[in-house]
A = this chain, B = another copy of it.
Amino acid sequence: MASVFNKGLYVSVFGESYSNAIGVVLDNFPAGIKLNVETIKKDMQFRAPLKGYVGASKRKETDEFEILSGIFNGHSTGSPICAVIYNKSLNSSHYNKIKNLIRPSHADYTAKVRYNNFNDFRGGGHLSGRLTAPLVFAGSICKQALKTKKIEIFSHIFSVGKIKDYEFNSLNFNAKELRNIKNKPIAVLNDEIIKEILNEIEDAKKEGDSIGGIVEAGVFGLAAGIGSPIFDGLENFIASIMFSIPAVKGLEFGKGFKFAKMKGSFANDEFYIKNGKIKTKTNNNGGILGGISNGMPIILKVVFKPTPTIFKEQNTVNLKFKRNEKILCSGFHDVCIATRGVFVVEAALNVAILSSLIFQGEF
């Protein structure tokens, strides 16, 4: 199980950081969806390491994919779509050096215990952030299906360190603005904070350190009535995919943890009807009541912990010699994983929403 999401859609992610390839199978994807390969390429490139900006990983990941099945004459066939991304001949020898030194806050230790030392430890193996590439592929495919129902999903960096962006609920953004977010150097709503965030990242980088961040995402155009109570609510669907993204440690909907200090009279979203359409005046619940969409935008936030890899000496354990040692990591890594994670969150949300719709027979 592990790497299969299976509600409505089946999304089976495979591969290890240094195996021949990584990839994904999407099963139960509806037949007859027009699929633009250029769109997928573009979506994949957003997630790929950014060359331009300070603090980005410099490992040259080639995320060129090959579609093996499931698309015929430019449309989905209804049969499984499989895409693979080949791992080009990378040198993994530097991982051998630190093979027995478990990196703090990484999954080196837990994977070894889980798989009885048979896991492919190189570069994190199957637990590498690289495995988000297939998820982005899946998200791009799902996005194109959702578009046929006029459902659009956007995400942006809400915060890096102490710098905060606007919230989707705070202002009225038009579709054009939202579609442009991902083209910015940092994917934010408020252009004025881009420089501040770059500085924040630069500062962390200078110290050989990393920094955390929060991503906000929204689903626009989803009709009311999607999702089910108890275990198959929209929140459950979304959560079970969001926590598949490495470094994600929290998820909240609407006001989320702010609800703790709120009174009901302020928190409740009052309904009103206008032109026969029912809406709520506020959207504190992030568009979900009882696990079911209420027709307002689905709004959620996801927190990314700081990249575990830092260029400072840390204490750890040498598993071979069973003794305490120091570790100093090297290699290429993002200073703030949220700046790429923002695209993974968007992809994951596309998968979650399409899955919910298929699950309910709405596709």
A42-87 contacts to B, CB under 8 A, are: 66-70, 72, 75-82, 84
Q: Is the CB of B110 within 8 A of A292?
A: yes
30 A-B pairs in the complex with CB atoms less than 8 angstroms apart: A3-B79, A4-B232, A14-B81, A20-B67, A23-B82, A32-B117, A72-B119, A72-B120, A79-B126, A82-B84, A107-B289, A110-B225, A110-B227, A110-B289, A110-B292, A110-B293, A131-B229, A207-B263, A212-B259, A212-B261, A249-B286, A250-B251, A251-B251, A251-B252, A252-B257, A252-B303, A264-B307, A272-B316, A273-B324, A361-B363
In the complex formed, the residue of B with least CB distance to A250 is B252
Given the complex, which residues of B lie within 8 Å of A242, measured CB to CB?
Answer: 239
Q: Is the CB of A231 within 8 A of B5?
A: yes
Q: Is the CB of A15 within 8 A of B80?
A: yes
Q: Is there a chain B Cβ closer than 8 Å to A125's Cβ?
A: yes
Q: Is the CB of A227 within 8 A of B114?
A: yes
Given the complex, which residues of B lie within 8 Å of A301, measured CB to CB?
Answer: 257
Given the complex, which residues of B lie within 8 Å of A303, measured CB to CB?
Answer: 252, 256-257, 259-260
Q: Is there a chain B Cβ closer than 8 Å to A113's Cβ?
A: yes
Q: Is there a chain B Cβ closer than 8 Å to A291's Cβ?
A: yes
- Given the contacts A244-B231, A263-B204, A7 and B1 also touching, CB distance less than 8 Å: yes
Distance to closest chain B CB from A75 (angstroms): 5
Q: Is the CB of A80 within 8 A of B2?
A: yes
In the complex formed, the residue of B with least CB distance to A7 is B1
- Given the contacts A249-B253, A285-B105, A314-B270, A308 and B230 also touching, CB distance less than 8 Å: no
Q: Is the CB of B230 within 8 A of A3?
A: yes
Indicate which residue in B272, B314, B361, B362 contacts A315 across the interface (CB closer than 8 Å). B272
Given the complex, which residues of B lie within 8 Å of A95, measured CB to CB?
Answer: none
In the complex formed, the residue of B with least CB distance to A132 is B230
Q: Is the CB of B289 within 8 A of A109?
A: yes
In the complex formed, the residue of B with least CB distance to A1 is B28
Q: Is there a chain B Cβ closer than 8 Å to A99's Cβ?
A: no
Q: Is the CB of A260 within 8 A of B362?
A: no
Most B Cβ at <10 Å: residue of A31, A288, A322:
A31
Q: Is the CB of B31 within 8 A of A116?
A: yes
Complexed CA–CA distance, A3 and B322 (Å): 45
A4-18 contacts to B, CB under 8 A, are: 4-7, 10-16
